[in-house]
Amino acid sequence: MSASLTEARLDLEAIRRDFPILSKPLPDGTPLVYLDSGATAQKPRVVIDKLVEVLENYNANVHRGIHTLGDRVTVELETAREKIQHFIGAGSPEEVIFTSGTTASINLVAHGWGRKFLKPGDEVLLTDMEHHANLVPWQIVAQATGARLRFIPLASDGMLDLNRLDDLLTERTKMVAITGMSNVLGTVPPLREITERAHARGALVLVDGAQSVPHGQTNVRDPRIDFLAFSGHKMFGPTGIGVLYGRRKLLLAMDPMFGGGNMIHEVFRDHSTYAEPPAKFEAGTLPIVEAIGLGTAADYLSGFSFDAIHAHEQRLVQRAFTLLNQIPGVRILGPAPDGTRGPIVSFTVEGVHPHDLADLLNRRGVAVRAGHHCTMPLHEQLGIPATARASFAFYNTEAEVDALAAAIRYARSVFKLE
């Protein structure tokens, strides 16, 4: 039975039993302390079982075969679409496009909308902390259309400097593309304020929800978001599946990014007419099993109180700040743990390269990520080439935060810094 709860506090023992990998030691027998959910989250048993169920019982292609298996898998996939619709508060399932992930979703908007509507002199407003997935596509499209990229800067505390927003938002701004949570700093931008001010200038808003959607209630109609992109594997679902939400009016106006089967209405020798969304943007065979698994992950996550998840993850962040700040040479990046930042703690240890640090932590069973985290401009601005990152999920415990701190001290001792 699932550990779904709606109480203020989570039953961590029950939750951890839902995730088989968390109880499995590493090959050398060391217990696993998994603190890399920002890269990919672990999967609960219900999702794993759903994937096996599809493959064993009704594996077939969707929207094609007029036979029992084809009918069953099509119903399951469209049911998953409806689950995602309700999970993010979309107005209809037709506004939910299945993609391969956040990167594909943002590229779909950049190329399908941006190449069609951006003109020389138009502007796309980003932030200084965007993931490459929400930067490089806009660079490519800006070069192709003559549009210009502008950036909301960071303040010294790791928050966005919104004092500059009125200067940056002009009649030339056509799109504001912004992360829902920084994958390095844990910064959570004030989306309501930004979307309201962007819409007042006539600009659209795209939110990169890869990090934010798994950790908080998302409603694309409050505040009104025009596009939302997120990945299944970061919200306890399979890899290879993601979602693009778009307001129906915008999806109808956009060009498809890929052509082929399933996305057409009629095909002639010299031109084609396209199906309406979502089919218009789902050329070829979808990641069917993965999409159905994502629906199950949304069901699983919906069984918990996001308030309880947030409160628990904030306790983990607070503890990490307390313990890591007691270790000499540790520098934590991003805003203070005031209850608003996300469950991501990136840091450096003086005298230890982040890659060496991650390797030494792994010897103690602590899995973190090291590198520039696909945010090279941000790291250049911070004056460091790389960081180590611990990213928490609602299945992590305070004891695992203690293990992180102990492993950092071990790493410092190896380098004779302790």
pLDDT in tens, 368-386: 999 999 999 999 999 999 9
Instruction: Enter the tokens of residue 215.
Output: 């950790």
Separation CA 315–CA 275 (nearest Å): 48
The answer to whether residues 241 and 100 touch, using CB atoms and an 8 Å cutoff, is yes
Separation CA 369–CA 372 (nearest Å): 9
Provide the β-strand partners of residue 124: 149, 175
The answer to whether residues 112 and 255 touch, using CB atoms and an 8 Å cutoff, is yes
pTM, rounded to two decimals: 0.96
Q: Looking at the annotation, which residues are catalytic? A: 374
pLDDT of residue 8: 61
Q: If one looks up domain 12-31+305-414 in CATH, what number appears?
A: 3.90.1150.10
User: Environment class of residue 329 by beta-carbon count within 10 Å: exposed (0-12), middle (13-18) or buried (19+)?
Assistant: middle
Phi, psi of 30 (to 5 degrees): -70, 135
**Domain map (residue ranges) of the chain:** 12-31+305-414, 49-302
Spatial CA neighbour of 349 closest among 365, 337, 361? 361
The answer to whether residues 397 and 9 touch, using CB atoms and an 8 Å cutoff, is no
pLDDT of residue 2: 52
Spatial CA neighbour of 371 closest among 346, 396, 344? 346
Sign, CA torsion 345/350/352/354: positive
Three-state DSSP at 333 gives coil
pLDDT of residue 73: 97
The answer to whether residues 171 and 201 touch, using CB atoms and an 8 Å cutoff, is yes
What type of residue sits at position 332? I
Q: Where are the alpha helices (DSSP H) in 254-370?
A: 288-302, 306-324, 354-363
Give the DSSP H/E element, type plus range, for residue 168.
Answer: helix 165-168
Pick the CATH number of 49-302 from 3.90.1150.10, 3.60.20.10, 3.30.70.580, 3.40.640.10: 3.40.640.10
Question: Maximum CA pair distance of the chain?
Answer: 72
Three-state DSSP at 176 gives strand
Task: Give pLDDT < 50 ranges for the chain.
Answer: 1, 4-7
pLDDT of residue 4: 47
pLDDT of residue 9: 82
Instruction: Enter the tokens of residue 123.
Output: 């502007």
